[in-house]
Structure 1
Amino acid sequence: MKNILIIGAGQIGSRHLQALKAVRTSIQIFVVDPSPESLKTAKKMYELTRMGESEHMVRFSNKLPHNPEQIDVAIIATNSDVRREACETLLERTDVRHLIFEKILFNHKKDYDEIGLSLRKHKTKAYVNFNMRMHPMYSSIKDELGDDKIFYHVSGGNFGLVTNAIHYLDHLALLAHCRDFTINTNLLDHNPIPSKRKGFLEFTGTIEAKLKNGSQMLVTSYETGGAPCQIIIFNKNMRIISRENEGKFWIAKKENSWSWQEILSPWPYQSEMTTHLVERLLHKGECSLPTYQESIKIHLQMLEPLLEHLNRFSKKKYNYYPFT
C-alpha cells in the first residue's frame, strides 16, 4: 500500500486531503498538524467527501512520527515561516520519493538553496504547486501563442497580490519559455496590508514584470472593491480573456480573423486537481508541476524586490519575506 503524507491541515491541506479520497489505488494517508482544531476540521471534511473507488486508511496526528514508513508522496501545506523546519524534519526521519510544496516556499533567502541541497542529498523529487499548469485551458494555449513575446495583464479587487502574482509569473514563464525577469515595484502602494493569514503581509497596487525575451506582465490588486479577477493574455497571434470566477474564456485568433469564441472551462477545485496529481506521481513518477529548482528562480526574482520595496517605506525593517 502506498503512503501519502500531508503536513499542514489548514484550508489548503484539507483540500488536498479531500482529493485523496478519490484516488483509485488504496493508500495509507497520514495527516499532521499541531492544531487539534485543524485536524478535527480536516477529518470532518474528509468524512463528508463522497467515497471514491477505493477505501483508504487515514491517520491524524499532532506531530510527525519518529520513524514513519517510506512516504511515496508528501505534501507540505504549512505557512512559509515553518515550512523549512517541516521539510527538514521529514527528510531526516524517512525516505520521501515525491514532495509537493505549497507556495510561497520560505521566508528566508538562504532556505531556498539549503533545502535544495537537502532534497538532492535525500534523492527526493520535489515540485511546487503552481497549479495553473494543470488547468486544461491554460496549458493548451502554450503552443498556439508561439514564440513571439507575450503580454499578460491581471486585475482584481484586493485578491492577495503577492500570493497570487507568483502563480501568474510562473504561468507566463511557462508560456514564454523564459524564467529570467525583473520586477518593477514603483506602481505598488507604499504601505502593506495584513494578509488573510495572521502574521503575514500583502500589498496592493501593481507589480510589473519584464522578461528577458521581451514579454511583460502587469498584476494589479485594487485596495478596495470586490472586482473579480480578470486575466488578459495576448500577442500578435492570439488574445485570451479569462474570468475564473465564471469559468469562462474568450479567445480570438489571427487565423480566424480575430472573431471571439466563448469557451466554458471551469476552474478545477484543488480537491480535484490533487487527485490526478497524486495518481500521476504514483503511477508514472512525474507530473506537470514545475520542479523545486525551476521554482526557486521565480520566487527569488519576485521576493527580493518586494522586500526592498517594503523596507524602503516601512518603519519596521525586515530581514525576511513576511509573505505566505
Structure 2
Amino acid sequence: MNHVLLIAVGNIGFRHFQALLNCSSSFDLYVVDFDDSAITRAKLYAADNANGRLIYYYSSLKDIDVPTAFHTAIIATSSIPRRAVFEELISLHTVKNIIFEKVLFPRVEDYLHVQTLLDKGGIAAYVNCIRRTADVYIALREELAAAKKIFFSMRGGDWGLACNSIHILDLFAFLTGAENPAVSCSGAMLEDKIFESKRSNYIEFYGKLVGKLNEQSLFSIDCIHGQSAAEIEIYTDATYYCICESMGTILSQPLDGSKPADIRRFDLLPVSQTTNQVVDQLFSGQIPKLTAYRESADLHVPILQEFIKKRNALIEKEEDLCPIT
C-alpha cells in the first residue's frame, strides 16, 4: 500500500504537494484536482523537484482505477465540499490514514457523521494544525505543566478570525497539557457585520472569541482591523509570556521579578516543510504530532456554533451552516 493521495493541489494543497516531494518514504503520489490550472502548476513544479517519484494526475477520484488502497490521503479542499469528497473517497478506495485541512466542515452535524465513518472504516485521521508539532511549543508545554491557572490571549490585525481561530485554539489546548480539554466559547463580542473572505463563497468575521478550555484555563482570541502583528500572551500564576511569531521571539518574565526577562528565538516551519515529516512518521508506524480528528472536532464545534449563531442573527435566518474555511 505504498501510495499517497493528495486531493486538491491549489492554495494550501500546493504546499502539501511540495512537502510530499521531499518525503524520504518510498511511495507513488496520486494527485486529484478538477482545476486544470492547479494541475498544470503542480506538473511544472514537479518537473524540477520530483526527485524520481512517480506522480499521477487526475481530475476526479473516479478516474483512478488502480490502486484501490492508499496508505495516506490528504484532503486539502475548502470546507464546503470536504465531507462529500471524504465520502466519495472511502466509497471508492481503501484508506489507512487521512490528514484533513481545516476548517474541517461548515456544519456541526458533519463532525460526528465523519467520525462515525472513520470509526467504521478503521481509519486513523488527523487535522493539519501544525503549531503543536513545533519544538518551541512542545518545550513551552512542558514549562506550563506546573501552572495552576493559565490565561491565553491572542490579538492581531487582519489575520482571519473565522479561518484561523481553530489554529490558535488548538495551540492553546495543546499547551494546557490536558487530554481533550472541555471547551466552552462565546462569540458575543464578534462584530455585527459579515465580511467577504479572500476565498470565493466564504465569509470572515472580526471581533473576539472568549472561553474556557477547562476549569484552569481561559482564553481570548481577537482579530482587529488593519495590519498589526499578532501577539500571543500567556499569564500563569508564576510567569508572563509574550510570543510574536512574525519576529520569532518568546519573552518570559517571572511575575515575582526574581529574574530578568528572557527572550528566546525560534522558527516555525511552513506546511511545505512539515507534511513530509508527518507522512514519514506515518510510514514508519509512528503516531504523528498532529491533532487527532476526534480532539480537533471537539475544538472546532464550539467555535463553529458561535459563528453560525452570529451569522444567523445578521442574515435574520436560521441556517445550520457557516461558510468558513
Question: When the two structures are superposed, what TM-score results if normalisation uses the length of structure 1?
Answer: 0.93
C-alpha contact (below 8 Å) 1:97/1:125 kept by paired residues: yes
Partner of 2:212: 210
Q: For residue 25 of structure 1, give the secondary structure of its aligned residue in structure 2.
A: coil
C-alpha contact (below 8 Å) 2:157/2:227 kept by paired residues: yes
CA pair 186-109 structure 1, distance change in 2 beyond 3 A? closer
CA pair 144-17 structure 1, distance change in 2 beyond 3 A? same
Percent of paired sites with the same residue:
29
Structure 1 segments, 4+ long, off by >6 Å, are none
Q: Distance in 1 between matches of 2:3 and 2:257?
A: 49
- Residues paired across the two proteins, number: 320
Q: Distance in 1 between matches of 2:115 and 2:66?
A: 23
* Alpha-carbon offset, residue 156 of structure 1: 1.1
Note the 1:117-266 alignment, pairs <5 A: 117-146=116-145, 147-176=147-176, 177=178, 179-223=181-225, 225-253=226-254, 257-266=258-267
Note the 1:30-69 alignment, pairs <5 A: 30-47=30-47, 49=49, 55-64=52-61, 65-69=64-68
Partner of 2:20: 20
Question: When the two structures are superposed, what TM-score results if normalisation uses the length of structure 2?
Answer: 0.92
Q: For residue 83 of structure 1, give the secondary structure of its aligned residue in structure 2.
A: helix
* Alpha-carbon offset, residue 253 of structure 1: 4.3
CA pair 250-321 structure 1, distance change in 2 beyond 3 A? same
C-alpha contact (below 8 Å) 2:106/2:304 kept by paired residues: no
Partner of 1:116: 115
C-alpha contact (below 8 Å) 1:153/1:217 kept by paired residues: yes
* Alpha-carbon offset, residue 77 of structure 1: 0.3
Please tell me the root mean square deviation across aligned C-alpha atoms, in Å.
Answer: 1.9
Partner of 1:74: 73
C-alpha contact (below 8 Å) 2:72/2:97 kept by paired residues: yes
CA pair 234-47 structure 1, distance change in 2 beyond 3 A? farther
* Alpha-carbon offset, residue 239 of structure 1: 2.6
Q: Distance in 2 between matches of 1:262 and 1:39?
A: 44
What runs of 5+ residues in structure 2 fail to find an aligned partner?
Answer: none
C-alpha contact (below 8 Å) 1:145/1:237 kept by paired residues: no
- Which sits farther off after the overlay, 144-153 or 28-37? 144-153
What runs of 5+ residues in structure 1 fail to find an aligned partner?
Answer: none
1:96 aligns with 2:98: no
Q: Distance in 2 between matches of 1:75 and 1:205?
A: 32
